[in-house]
Structure 1
Amino acid sequence: MSELDPVIHAQARLRVVASLSALGDGDRIAFPRLQELLAMTAGNLSVHLRKLEDAGYVEISKTHRGRTPATLIRLSRRGRLAFEEYTEAICTLLDPALPKEQL
């Protein structure tokens, strides 16, 4: 049986990774927009992004839009692969309990 990635498995980080995986490969999202989508506090989101960044699953870039600082986030290739492996592991766990057409 496949192991579930403990970095992704935490509920908040799973929500972050799932949201970022919906972006196109290489697309980025601004920190405030991700915070709004996930209804998380800035501090809570920052903590989880740091864990994901430390694991190499997200890439965070700081830039400016005019004079305003902007933090942009994207799922790295490693993060995308880790999320794919995570979803496969979940499906493997559920496989005996559900008919294939429901997965």
Structure 2
Amino acid sequence: MGQHRVEHAPGEERYRSFADFYPFYLSEHANRTSRRLHVVGTGLVIISLVMGFTVSAWFFLVAPLVGYGFAWVGHFVFEKNRPATFTYPLYSLMGDFRLFFETVAARRRW
């Protein structure tokens, strides 16, 4: 993993690919309760997006609130770390969805 990181600024690492980032993402989600909150939040995001297309566009506004709300409680209360969203927004979002689908497919422990 070390050879795939690039020093971007003093003390800040940049990952060259999502494949390189994902092990870091998982290390930032070691707490079981935090992972569960992420999975629930991502599930609610998916439901909100579907409802945005089928019921009312207002649900599109709800999607980021529930997603980030659940995730940030997991980070600040249980992990006691800073969400990767602040440094790696796209990779972090991709990690949330990968974690969700791995959990739902029973490839990752709930």
Task: Give the TM-score band, short-chain normalised.
Answer: 0.3 to 0.5
- Structure with the higher helix share, 1 or 2: 2
- Scaled by the length of structure 1, the TM-score of the pair is 0.36
- Scaled by the length of structure 2, the TM-score of the pair is 0.34
